Amino acid sequence: MSSRPDLILASASPRRLALLNQVGVEPEHLVPAHVDETPEKGELPRKLAQRLADLKALTAQHKARIAGFGSNALVLGADTVVAVGRRILPKAETMEEATDCLRLLSGRSHRVYTGVTLITPSGAKRQRLVETRIRFKRLSNREMEAYLASAEWRDKAGGYAIQGIAGAFVVKMSGSYTGVVGLPLNEVTQLLAGEGYPVHFNWLNQSSHSGV
């Protein structure tokens, strides 16, 4: 009987790991893939999200092979891009960047693209690109100042985290909430199950942990 593949998550993001754990998936290995996320000249937001997801998965696969593991592993990479029209917003690292992002998002709609790439043990590449539309309320100066003071924006695409305080800014959303957080669970679980990863195994044991 062939052994099931291990799962390598090409990320150091606690958010992505928590999302997988939420649906009973625990990667055997975490292999952070630090790549250059600079958009290419004229690159559209959706293309950037998918290209970076591919690059992260390939980078993690390479690192695992060099370290001597992962020959029978699925490698999962993901990247999230926030955009207003064709304009790609940065992962805010400074107060100025975060301020610019908030001012641009205030009172208007934007899109969040999350690319997902799953590389199989045979080297096949499975991809998904999930688009979510979000509209923010018009933010007052006091709200902006308070949010900036929270520092929740740091290293977040578009300068905000929907699962945190910024959830209070969302007037309307159409698409995948988990995709905005960083990993669209519907698409990811389908990809994993399609490659023989036992996504549903831990679900069968949930009742024993819930006190039922």
Tokens found for residue 14: 């606690």
The radius of gyration computed from the CA coordinates of the chain, to the nearest angstrom, equals: 18
Catalytic residues: 79
SS3 assignment, position 13 = coil
As a whole number of Å, the end-to-end CA separation of the chain is 34
DSSP state of 198: -
Name the residue with tokens 């390479």: 62
Q: What span, in angstroms and rounded, lies between the C-alpha atoms of 65 and 78?
A: 19
